[in-house]
């Protein structure tokens, strides 16, 4: 329990921030999971649309400071690489 007014306000604001961050991360995880599921399906079109949606969520989360911008870039790069290998087809 906070003892001062400022501590009480910090508690309220940090709880709001935690809820906002949690919601944003749920969206990021949902869309990255959708990319992984589409990859197992093997349909390049479905993967492409899932990657676009996940990229948008990652960019928003990074812009709002929920995740680090380099983490967002790393995840987007990995998804794009997997999509490119899917589009290239099987190795000979």
Q: What is the pTM of this model?
A: 0.85
Evaluate if residue 92 carries a pLDDT over 70.
no
In sign, the C-alpha dihedral spanning 33, 39, 42, 44 is positive
pLDDT confidence bin for 30, thresholds 50/70/90:
very high
Cα separation, 10 vs 40, in Å, equals 44
pLDDT value for 14: 97
Q: Specify the residue for token string 């990074």.
A: 62
Tens of pLDDT along 81-90? 999 999 887 7
The full set of domain ranges for the chain reads 10-87
Cα separation, 51 vs 83, in Å, equals 8
CATH topology of domain 10-87: Methane Monooxygenase Hydroxylase; Chain G, domain 1 (1.20.58)
| 69 membership: H or E segment, kind and range | helix 69-88
| Cα 91 from chain centroid (whole Å) | 30
Tens of pLDDT along 36-67? 999 999 889 999 999 999 999 999 999 999 99
């Amino acid at each position: 329990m906070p003892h001062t007014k400022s501590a009480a306000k910090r508690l309220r604001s940090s709880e709001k921030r935690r809820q906002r961050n949690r919601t944003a991360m749920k969206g990021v995880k949902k869309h990255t999971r959708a990319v992984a599921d589409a990859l197992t399906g093997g349909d390049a079109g479905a993967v492409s649309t899932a990657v676009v949606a996940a990229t948008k969520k990652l960019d928003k989360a990074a812009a709002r400071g929920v995740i680090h911008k380099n983490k967002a870039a790393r995840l987007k790069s990995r998804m794009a690489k997997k999509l490119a290998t899917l589009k290239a087809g099987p190795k000979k």
